[in-house]
Chains A and B, each alone.
Chain A
Amino acid sequence: MKIYTDTGKKDTRSGFGAGLTELGKTNENVVALCADLTGSLKMDAFKENHPQRFFQVGIAEANMMGMAAGLTIGGKIPFTGTFANFSTGRVYDQIRQSIAYSGKNVKICASHAGVTLGEDGATHQILEDIGLMKMLPSMTVINTCDYNQTKAATIALADHNGPVYLRFGRPKVANFTPENGPFTIGKAVELQEGTDVTIIATGHLVWEALEACKTLQEQGISAGVINIHTIKPLDAAAILKSVAITGCVVTAEEHNYLGGLGESVSRILAENNPVPQEFVATKDTFGESGTPDQLMDKYGLNAAAIVKAATKVVARK
C-alpha cells in the first residue's frame, strides 16, 4: 500500500486562488469575475495584480455569467467566482444558453460546495451541483480533492478550450497530492491498487478514502482507491480496469447520490461490467448547520462510512 502524507491542512479554495494568481502572471487573456465574494474565493491577489482584468459584478450572478460569455468574444478566458450554489442553480439558464449551448470558453469556479460549508446551513450547501452541471452537453465537470490539485486544475483550465465547472470547498483539509503535480482533465488517478473492492472518490472524500483503505487493510480487505477529479468526461477505462480485478465498487462524494459521481459510475458499470456498488453520498436530503466534521459524520461522508460501505459491498459479491 502506498503511503500518502498530509503536508499540512489547507483549503481547496486557496488552491484555486493560487492557481488564478499564477495564471494572471502567465496568461494575459485570463480575466476574472466575482459576485461580491472576492475574499471567500481567494481572488484578492488576482484583483490586486490585475485590476483591469478583474470584474466585480456585485450580487448579480446572472449578469456575471452573461458577461463571462461576452468576454470570450474578443478572446478572453473568463474565470467566474462565487459559491457553488450561486454558480449553478441560481444561474442554470444563463449557463445553459449563453455558455454551454453557445460553446463559450468560460470557467465556472465554485467554492463552498457541499455540507462542509458548515454553519451557514442548507441555503448555501448545494448538494445537487454536480448533477446540474454534468447534464449540460459540452460541460466539463471537475471536483478537486486538495489544495495542490485545485491549484493544478485551475492552471490547466486555461489551456482547455470549452466550458468547465470547477468545484472546490471551504474547509481546510489534508494536502497530499504532489505540489505542482500534473493535471490532465479527464484522466483518473489511481492512488491505491486493490484486489477486493474499488473505492472511487471525488473531492474531499478522496482523503477519506485513503484513510478508509488503511482501516480496511487491517480488516483483511484490499481496497483500490481511484481519485476521480474529472466527473465528466469520466475515465471509464481506469474504473473498468480496477473493477475487473475487484468485482465491486464504493463511490464516495460530498453530493446527493441522485445525479452525482455514483450514478455516472453506475452507468459505466451497467454498460460494461455490472457489479455491486454502494454509495457514500447524501441520500436525497438537504444539509443543515454544524461544523464540517459534524456534518460529514452525520451525513455519512467520512472514512468510517466508506469502511462500512466497502465491507457491505464485498459481502454482496
Chain B
Amino acid sequence: MADITQLEAFVTQVRRDIVRQVHKVNSGHPGGSLGCAEFLVALYQQVLKRKEGFNMDGDQEDIFFLSNGHISPVFYSVLARSGYFPVEELNTFRLLNSRLQGHPTTHEGLPGIRIASGSLGQGISVAIGAAAAKKLNNDKHLVYALCGDGELQEGQNWEAIMYGAGNKVDNLIVAVDLNGQQIDGSTDTVLPLGNVKGKFEAFGWEVVTIEKGNDIQAILEGMETAKTKTGQGKPICVLLQTVMGNGVDFMMHTHAWHGKAPNDEQLASALAQNPETLGDY
C-alpha cells in the first residue's frame, strides 16, 4: 500500500503526462484531466481491488468506467502507470493508428478500457449493467464510474439514476467531478445544475461529498466512507469537488483549458511546476 507522499508523487508525474500528451498533438482536454488526477491515482493505486492483467469481464475484481471520456489523457496516464500497457505508448496519444484514441475505446484493444466513451451521459447506465452482471455472477466486487458535472445535463443519466435507486443497485459507486465548468463557461451560466446532492438524494441515492477533491487523503477517506455504504440497498454517489486544471496555475479555476493544448512556453511552465518523479515516457 502506497503512502500519501508516494501517491502525491504519482500525481505529479501524471500531470506531466497529461500536459505532454496534449501539447504534442496540440489537442485534447487537459483541464478536466488535471482536476481528476488525484482521484484516478487514488482509485487505481489504492481503492480498486484489481487483479493482475486485464480481462474484459473483470470477474472477481472491482471495475471502473470513465463516462466523461474526454479526460482520456489522465485515464491513459494512470492506466499505463498502473501496468495496463507500456508507458511509452503515451507517445502515441491521438496519433494515426494508435490505441490511444482521442476518446477511450475498446475498439483498438487497449487494456484497461471496457467501454467506449466520449458521447456523454452513457457511463452510469453501462456501470449499472455491469453491476447487475456482478450480482448475477455472485461476484461481491464493486463497480465504480466517474462522470462530469456538466455531463449531468444529459437526460440518460437521470434514467439511470432512477433505475439505480429503484432497483437497489448497491454495488455501485458513481463519482461526479464537480468542477463547475464546461466548454462554454461555468455550469451556472450554461445550464445550472442546481442542488446536485439534493437531486441524487431525492432520487434515492446515498451521497458522500468529498470537499477536497484534489487532496489524496480526503479522497481516500471519502471513498472508504462510500465503500462502507455499499450493500445496503442504495447506489452511492460521491460528489468530488475539484478544481479544473489543478496543479498547473494558469489552467486553474477557468473553463478556458477544457479542450485546449498548451504552447511550448506554457508547457515549460506546467512542467516546471510539476517536477519529474517516476520518469517521463
Could you list which residues of chain A lie within 8 angstroms of chain B, going by C-beta atoms?
A: 31, 52-53, 55, 57-58, 60, 62-76, 78, 93-94, 96-98, 101-104
Contact = CB atoms under 8 A, between A and B. Distances in A.
* Majority SS at the chain A contact face: helix
A52 B139 CA distance: 15
Nearest to B167: A55
21 contacts: A63-B125, A63-B159, A67-B125, A67-B126, A69-B126, A70-B65, A70-B129, A70-B130, A72-B133, A73-B58, A73-B126, A74-B58, A74-B130, A74-B133, A74-B136, A74-B139, A75-B57, A76-B133, A93-B122, A94-B125, A96-B119
Range for the number of chain B residues in contact with chain A: 35 or more
A76 B135 CA distance: 12
Given A69-B126, A101-B116, A74 B57 contact: yes
A73 to B, nearest CB: 5
Interface of B: 56-59, 63, 65, 105-107, 114-119, 121-134, 136-137, 139, 155-156, 159-160, 162-163, 166-167
Contact of B114 (A60, A67, A73): A73
Given A58-B163, A66-B156, A102-B106, A71 B130 contact: yes
A93 B119 contact: yes
Contacts of B119: 93, 96-97
Contacts of B107: 101-103
B118 to A, nearest CB: 7
A98 B136 contact: no
Contacts of A58: 159, 162-163, 166
Contacts of B124: 66
A199 to B, nearest CB: 38
Contacts of B139: 74
A98 B114 contact: no
A280 to B, nearest CB: 36
Nearest to A69: B126
Contacts of A71: 129-130, 132-133
B61 to A, nearest CB: 11
Nearest to B126: A70
B63 A73 contact: yes
A67 B163 contact: yes
Contact of B163 (A63, A68, A72, A102): A63
